Structure 1
Amino acid sequence: MLELPKLARPQGGPSPGLIAWVLLALGALLVSGCASRGGTIAYDVADFGAPDPISQTALQGDYTIAPLDKLKIEVFQVKDLSGTYEVDLTGRITMPFIGSVRAVDLTADDLASELESRFAQGYLKNPEIGVGVAESRGSVLTVEGSVKTPGVYPVIGRTTLLQAIARSGGIDEYGNPKRVAIFRQIDGQRMAAAFDITTIRTGEAPDPDVFRGDIIVVDGNNVRRAWRDTIQAFPIFQIFSPL
């Protein structure tokens, strides 16, 4: 049970001193309640593990191409044009004859249609082109809860928890930096671990890497009820506990 501050309590009726004491006590109660670790997801994770390899995580049919993705492009009956193409950091691929083509944010089918249209403009007659995602390297992670700009953000290269939160505008005024959860797919199961941002910022705890597919949830007033219930009621079985 939370103890109120040990202040000298004024005697007598509801004097200004008593009112001030009550306000101070309530303030301490609110601050302690909002900025506490709590919950049952394990903290102080030394090695919480990397997510499943991309090959074990099937992409959805509406997956949109991201920077650094590798694409398998098949141009029917034109072997010289077929092959593996990598999306550069600007979100484009470069192919013979037609040059640079925007690929980012398109589905594989959308890009195939665009390539057929480009090659049909004087290069190939009735081209038939298939596009597949051979390797997803860019992709995205999700930042939810009490941050200033919740959303989906690209993961390009090494990214840490603090960097991911910074991309979302930082923790908002109602957020609890002592209670941040990462949800991750490991060995085919959805797992979770909790982190205290205040100790990471002071160097007391390491800033963990985050990966494509991760969901980061900052506890606080703006966290959705479903996430809050998950964070608070999650049982502990191991470092990264299965959902």
Structure 2
Amino acid sequence: MATRMVVLGQYCRVAACVAALLIMSGCGGRGGDIAYDPASFVAPDAPPLPATTTDYRLGAGDVVSIQVFKVDSLSGDQTIDTAGRVNLALLGPVVAAGRTTAEFEQALERQLGEKYLTAPSIAVTLKSAVQRTVTVDGSVQQPGLYPISAPTSLIKTIAMARGTAEEANPSRVIVFRQIDGQRMAAAFDLKSIRRGESPDPVIYADDIVVVDGSATSKAMKTVIQSLPFVTLFRPF
């Protein structure tokens, strides 16, 4: 249920972003009120911790704080590596990915108790969680949410969605991002990027990438008619 709610929330934000895109776009080519390649379109805000960490499953890139009661040498912050493990003194690599913090605590207590400590008491807390998806929508072959483990490029992001659709307008690709607490947008010309005339911008986890095109308007028309366009996005 939690996963379904996250996906629903992502697509609600996509619908809102596409609404703004259609309001500010023309019929084809470049255009609209969204600036192209703005210098102010910098890296996004740090992702917030999940609203509740009770059921959150740890993953690569997450940072956890491990406190072993009365054993400071085994305590400290750890970043889960790409293999989903943390490397701890005495124990070596221990799998953390896929477990809740409570399950990870139990695993550590069990392993330390088997060989090294008598009835160890361990507390694991989530310090930072990595958002590992980017949303690609609009006139692409396969719209959806795609996992990314590190920042990537716009070209690679579009490729994850199997490229632009036949009716796409690659001269207007909009990227929506949270910067300084505000939903921001920037336009990019995919044709210009492919020709090497413009730099390939960095795409971060939790970005929403929308490729303009005639199919985008038709597919989203029914959804966006009920959205409050004017108040959705600021400062643009």
Distance 2:51 2:99 in 1: 13
State how far apart, in whole Å, the 1-side matches of 2:73 and 2:87 are: 14
- Equivalence for 1:184: 177
CA distance in 1, matches of 2:81, 2:108: 17
Kindly indicate whether the alpha-carbon contact (under 8 Å) linking 2:182 and 2:234 is maintained by their aligned counterparts in 1: no
Q: Which residue of 2 aligns with 1:101?
A: 94
Is 1:127 matched up with 2:116? no
Q: Could you tell me how far apart the structure 2 residues matched to 1:68 and 1:51 are?
A: 17
Q: Which of residues 74, 77, 100 in structure 2 aligns to 1:84?
A: 77
1:46 equivalent to 2:41? Answer no
Say which structure is richer in helix. Answer: 2
Deviations 1:68-92 (A, max 9, x none): 4332111122222111222223221
Q: Distance in 1 between matches of 2:186 and 2:223?
A: 14
The superposition leaves residues 24-62 of structure 1 with CA deviations (integer Å, 9 ceiling, x where unpaired) of: xxxxxxxxxx982477451422312221245xx344434
> Are the structure 2 counterparts of residues 165 and 126 from structure 1 closer, same or farther at C-alpha, using a change threshold of 3 Å?
farther
Identical positions, percent: 34
Q: Distance in 2 between matches of 1:190 and 1:113?
A: 40
Q: Paired residue for 1:202?
A: 195
CA distance in 1, matches of 2:167, 2:102: 42
TM-score by length of 2: 0.67
- Report 1:27-38 matches (<5 A): 36-37=28-29
Helix, strand or coil for the counterpart of 2:74? coil
TM-score (norm 1): 0.65
Aligned to 1:193: 186
Residues 98-146 of structure 1 deviation map (CA, whole Å, 9 limit, x = unaligned): 321222344434433332333343433443322233345x542312223
Aligned residue in 1 for 2:220 = 225
- 1:215 equivalent among 208, 211, 215: 208
Displacement of 1:175 in angstroms is 4.1
Larger radius of gyration: 1
Q: How far 1:184 sits from its partner (Å)?
A: 0.9
Q: Which residue of structure 1 aligns with residue 133 of structure 2? A: 141
User: 1:155 pairs with 125, 149, 161, which one?
Assistant: 149
CA distance in 2, matches of 1:175, 1:227: 19
Aligned residues: 202
In the TM superposition, residue 174 of structure 1 has moved relative to its aligned partner by 5.2
Distance 1:86 1:147 in 2: 35
SS in 2 for 1:50: coil
How many Å separate the matches in 1 of 2:52 and 2:92?
Answer: 27
Distance 1:41 1:127 in 2: 60
Amino acid at match of 1:225: M
- Match of 1:204, SS state, is coil
Q: How many angstroms apart in 2 are the aligned matches of 1:173 and 1:128?
A: 59
Structure 1 letter corresponding to 2:38 = A
For 2:42 and 2:141, how far apart are their aligned partners in 1?
25
Q: State how far apart, in whole Å, the 2-side matches of 1:70 and 1:102 are.
A: 14
- Give distance in 2, aligned partners of 1:143 and 1:50: 16
Q: What runs of 5+ residues in structure 2 fail to find an aligned partner?
A: 1-25
Query: What stretches of structure 1 of length at least 5 have no aligned partner?
Result: 1-33
